[in-house]
A = this chain, B = another copy of it.
């Protein structure tokens, strides 16, 4: 085992010498410039491998001496989770400045394909790279492909468009997130007991047009059907992530479903669910699992209204977005493990 992680600093000059070529030629190979014979290029690449040369990041960055413009396209409106992402992007101002990156946060109606597509077409020329919360819709897919075609680096954020040509997705595996929620509900309710029916599980979801919620419902249903068949799944109700709609929907659900034992909310607006339960004096008696850590869900986790949250870290996503876009435009490698966004389970006890 080699415990010496690395050795004396190497420069491009050392590589050139080792390969028996001039500095200019070594530079041409390293930076993929034309006018080098295949034979010579191989010699240089071998020397790079052999010596383990990597350009000093600081020097490369300084010498490149160009600045970048990134756009981050987020849904407008009061979505708390998206506001958290925006805040975390802003909190990186120093990081961006130190890399000569100008960032603009563009708010738009992500739920409307035409609006979003129109917004996207304005980006080339103004920006070098873009991160967007994607709608998985043919028009958006085409718009994303046009951006890539125009030479922009494109990553999807939170909600993916896997069939597009986007270079990277910054977000969680939403099927796994839904499955996790399903396991938590099933486990927390406990096994079926002789003679006792399992009860019904209500599902509150957002608009259904973003891929993430659909995938969560799918994963949730999968686990409940396979592992907890004694539980009855109600038909999902759509509250568009709006607390007031959710409150009304849950009121009706409580009235219509005497054997309701649990509620899963695939999206935002969990606070409305808490209100409806409190009105009916059923808080803590009906098991609730939701998504994302916000001031409201934090409070409901602490007071026991919600038993658990499935969450993704908006700070991690903001930083990952920044790193990935930077790596894409500067041609650096992406550290997959670092950029993998975890599906977090948050209980009262491991609240950050």
Contacts and interface: CB of A to CB of B under 8 A. Distances in A.
A280 interface: no
Contacts of A319: 338
Interface in A312-341: 313, 315-316, 319, 333, 337-338, 340
A91 B342 CA distance: 20
Contacts of A350: 176-177, 179-180, 310, 342-345
Contacts of A90: 2, 5
Taken together, the copies of this chain in the complex come to 2
Contacts of A98: 54-58
A307 B190 CA distance: 13
Interface string A51-92: 010111111111000010000000000000000000011111
B347 A344 contact: no
Interface in A154-202: 176-177, 179-180, 182-184, 187-188, 190-191
A26 to B, nearest CB: 17
Given A54-B94, A58-B58, A6 B348 contact: no
Interface residues of A, number: 70
B352 A338 contact: no
A105 interface: yes
A107 to B, nearest CB: 7
A223 interface: yes
A336 to B, nearest CB: 10
Chain A contact surface mostly: mixed
A6 B58 contact: no
A297 to B, nearest CB: 16
Nearest to A107: B3
A180 B59 contact: no
B223 A349 contact: yes
A4 interface: yes
A96 interface: yes
Contact of A349 (B107, B180, B347): B180
Interface string A191-226: 100000000000000000000000000010001000
B93 A6 contact: yes
A117 B92 CA distance: 39
A103 interface: yes
B9 A348 contact: no
Given A58-B61, A103-B5, A187-B187, A342 B352 contact: yes
Interface string A24-68: 000000000000000000000000000010111111111000010
Contacts of A347: 180, 183-184, 345
27 contacts: A3-B105, A3-B106, A5-B102, A6-B101, A7-B102, A9-B67, A54-B94, A54-B97, A56-B98, A56-B100, A57-B58, A57-B98, A57-B99, A58-B58, A88-B337, A176-B350, A177-B350, A180-B347, A182-B349, A183-B347, A187-B188, A190-B190, A190-B191, A319-B338, A340-B352, A342-B342, A342-B344
Ranked nearest first, the 6 interchain pairs of A and B with the lowest CB-CB distance are A345-B345, A179-B349, A5-B103, A58-B61, A190-B190, A57-B98
Given A180-B349, A345-B347, 17 more contacts: A5-B89, A5-B103, A9-B100, A55-B98, A57-B61, A58-B62, A58-B98, A58-B99, A94-B333, A177-B350, A180-B350, A183-B347, A183-B349, A184-B347, A190-B191, A316-B338, A344-B345
